[in-house]
């Protein structure tokens, strides 16, 4: 079932999204070589709660943590771990969902650890650009396929792998809802977008192939890595589809995102 949100509900999701945005902005200032994966979890969980939110991933399908912390060739869903330390030149994806007064928001960001290689820096830039190309297609009257087609076309043209097994989704009043939002597809095909829909767009982009493999993190949770060991970046925003265009609800940069606010 797809729920259409009122202006009041969208504002509530924006308040939830502001917590994630603030968390990611502060995280960018403290991530450095030698930082433990578990320290990221501790920082994020504390930040969410200190700002009045609920770390909504905890308890979702048995998941135990406020964040997913996915390093280098991990694509997504890696658990934060003690004894795993970031190294100079790594990239780390930090994904979380926040609930605030019943309103949900979801965002993932990729962080460079120290100085990354030019190839990895270009991967990060391309992934973020692909996200915004998709957001530009999230307008009333377009179709889901328009989002995926523009993302996949750009990534394919530039020689990147576009992960297909993990996709965006509707969000609110629960964490994962219809519609599914693939980052590939055919323009003009799929569900028509309507005012009041709230969705995530979250391309996962690799330096190699798009295929992934499951890695058992522990007995009750699985993470995904690239099948060929290539590194992966991801950026994700929650957004609302409005009569005035897509509105980003997890924006970290009011200047950069001015036309989406």
User: What value does the mean pLDDT take over residues 24-46?
Assistant: 98
- Check: CB of residue 20 under 8 Å from CB of residue 52: no
202 is in an annotated binding site: yes
95 annotated ligand-binding residue: yes
Give ∠ CA 232-236-241 in degrees, rounded to 5. 145
For residues 30, 207, 256, 148, the Cα torsion angle rounded to the nearest 10 degrees is -130
Question: Taking residues 72-79, what's their average pLDDT?
Answer: 96
Tokens 């995904």, residue located = 224
Mean pLDDT, residues 37-58 taken together: 98
Residue 169 in marked binding region = yes
Q: Domain boundaries in the chain? A: 7-252
- The string of pLDDT tens digits covering residues 119-142 is 999 999 999 999 999 999 999 999
Do the annotations mark residue 101 as ligand-binding? no
Q: Could you read off the pLDDT of 197-241 as tens digits, one per residue?
A: 999 999 999 999 999 999 976 556 789 999 999 999 999 999 999
Share of the chain above pLDDT 90, in %: 95
Cis peptide before 173 (omega within 30 of 0): yes
| 90 is annotated as contributing to ligand binding | no
CA-based nearest residue to 200, from 161, 174, 228, 229 = 174
222 among annotated binding-site residues:
no
- The whole-number pLDDT of residue 216 equals 78
The CATH number corresponding to 7-252 among 3.60.150.10, 3.30.930.10, 3.50.50.60, 3.90.230.10 equals: 3.90.230.10
- Report the pLDDT value the prediction gives residue 218, as an integer from 0 to 100: 59
Alpha helices in the chain (DSSP H): 7-30, 37-50, 118-136, 144-157
The predicted-structure confidence for 57-69, as pLDDT tens digits, reads as follows: 999 988 999 999 9
143 pairs with which residues across the strands? 192
Asked whether residue 177 is marked as a ligand-binding residue, the answer is no
């Amino acid at each position: 079932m797809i729920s259409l949100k009122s202006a009041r509900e969208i504002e509530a999701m924006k308040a939830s999204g502001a917590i994630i945005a603030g968390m990611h902005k502060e995280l960018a200032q403290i991530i450095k070589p030698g930082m433990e994966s578990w320290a990221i979890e501790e920082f994020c969980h504390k930040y969410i709660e200190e700002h009045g939110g609920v770390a909504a991933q905890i308890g979702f399908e048995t998941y135990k943590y406020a964040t997913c912390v996915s390093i280098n060739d991990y694509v997504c869903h890696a658990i934060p771990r003690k004894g795993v330390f970031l190294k100079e030149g790594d990239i780390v994806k930090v994904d979380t969902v926040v609930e605030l007064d019943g309103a949900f928001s979801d965002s993932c960001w990729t962080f460079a650890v120290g100085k990354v290689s030019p190839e990895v820096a270009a991967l990060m830039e391309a992934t973020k650009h692909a996200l915004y190309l998709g957001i530009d297609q999230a307008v009333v009257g377009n179709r889901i396929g328009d989002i995926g087609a523009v993302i996949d076309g750009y990534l394919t043209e530039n020689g990147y792998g576009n992960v297909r097994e993990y996709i965006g989704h509707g969000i609110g009043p629960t964490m994962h809802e219809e519609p599914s939002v693939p980052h590939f597809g055919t323009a003009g095909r799929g569900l028509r977008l309507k005012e009041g829909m709230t969705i995530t767009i979250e391309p996962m982009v690799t330096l190699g192939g798009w295929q992934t493999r499951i890695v058992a993190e522990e007995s009750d949770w699985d993470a995904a890595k690239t099948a060929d060991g290539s590194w992966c970046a991801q950026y994700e925003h929650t957004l609302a589809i409005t009569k005035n265009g897509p509105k980003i609800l997890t924006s970290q940069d009011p200047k950069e995102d001015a036309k989406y606010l």
